[in-house]
Structure 1
Amino acid sequence: MDNKEAREQQALELRRERLKAESARIIDVANTEPHSALRCIHLLSVAGGATEATYLAIEQRIMTDQDPAGAYHLALLAQSTLDLPIDVRQLVELVIAEGDNQQRLALLKNLPFPPVDAVKAQILASQDSDAIAQMDKYLEANPQGHGSEHMLSSGQSDQIVPLS
């Protein structure tokens, strides 16, 4: 191994150790601090990655706290990182069941294939005329309910909606 390869290998090992340490810290926060999912997701983002156990600890924190904002953000993160060891379906179901209408509308816009019927039923049941109007307008432009990613690739424009 030449000098350049040795330096690259050393840098890779240092990065692995840093990620392991950050993962352990995030897991500790998720395991000990109620309602810390958004903080953990932020720490994960700053770290630039984490172990599978880290994602599972955040998911567990979300489910324990029944945290729709954390569920929304972790589900969105899972859309761009397909091999995460989390159950996106249960996160989306939590947002639909426990979230507010803005979060539900954001699911429609930001998931590639959102559960349109479930979101629509919850928004209609809320009798929130503003949210119903927003949903109807969105579904009129996008009757199949494909998320913004699909709309952007087909020439339409929309924006990703942050929730926190």
Structure 2
Amino acid sequence: MNTQESDQQKAQKQAAEQALIETRRERLKSESLRIIEIASSEANSALKCIHQLSVAGGATEATYVAIEQRIVADQDPAGAYHLALLAQSTPDLPVDARQLIELVVNKGDNQQRLALLKNLPLPPVDMIKEQILASDDGDAIGQMNAYLQINPEGYGSHHMVTSGHSDQIVPLSPGNRNN
């Protein structure tokens, strides 16, 4: 009798766990559809969508694609920065991180470029360096040179943290926040 009860309890527990998984899956699908709608219909909504994605705890592949399309359509370096970081730290995201990084380097400001330099595992150091030097921004050039002096290979903070150096993820510059 005890084995029969134990088997029933196991089956009930498995059914409850499966129901929780299904509930979460349906919630993520619903949130994904909502985020896709925002990305599809609201200009400059990438940061809002990325935030919503983070709050939801994930999303469908179509959601990431919709956010990337919004970023490209708006030529939004702030959104590109955050989605590029996400793509670098999350395997198998269906986004072109290289395109996003190039958008930040070419259209972003120096704070965003410096943030890429510090936060990407393998940033495009030469591209970033070229844009910062061309800007004639003495402060940004100084920050870049100081960073590259302690990290001449330009490995991002992930490398520095694992090798004993400490750094932190650099937030976006306070401008350009269109939510």
Corresponding residue to 2:89 among 70, 75, 80: 80
Alpha-carbon separation, structure 1, partners of 2:86 and 2:169: 12
Q: Which amino acid counterpart does residue 37 of structure 1 have in structure 2?
A: A
Residue equivalent to 1:55: 64
After superposition, give the CA deviation of every residue in 1:72-131 in whole Å (9 maximum; x if it has no partner). 000011122111000000000000000000000000000000000000000000000000
Q: Which whole-Å CA distance do the structure 1 matches of 2:68 and 2:36 have between them?
A: 11
Matched ranges for 1:87-126 at <5 A: 87-126=96-135
The structure whose Rg is larger is: 2
1:135 has 2:171 as partner: no
2:47 is matched by which residue type in structure 1?
L
Secondary structure, aligned partner of 1:71: helix
**RMSD of aligned residue pairs (Cα, Å):** 0.8
In 1, the alpha carbon distance for the partners of 2:163 and 2:57 equals: 30
Q: Distance in 1 between matches of 2:82 and 2:103?
A: 12
TM-score with structure 1 length normalisation?
Answer: 0.98
Q: Give the Å deviation of 1:162.
A: 1.2
| 1:158 Cα deviation from its structure 2 partner | 1.2
Distance, in Å, in 2 between the alignment partners of 1:13 and 1:159 is 36
4+ aligned runs moved over 3 Å, structure 1: none
Q: Secondary structure at the match of 1:2?
A: helix
Q: Which residue of 1 aligns with 2:75?
A: 66
Calculate the TM-score normalised by the size of structure 2.
0.90
Per the TM alignment, residue 159 of structure 1 is displaced from its structure 2 partner at its CA by 1.2
- In the alignment of these two chains, the number of paired residues is 164
Specify the code of the residue in structure 1 equivalent to 2:73: T
Structure 1 spans left out of the alignment, 5+ residues = none
Q: Which runs of 5+ in 2 are unaligned?
A: 1-9, 175-179
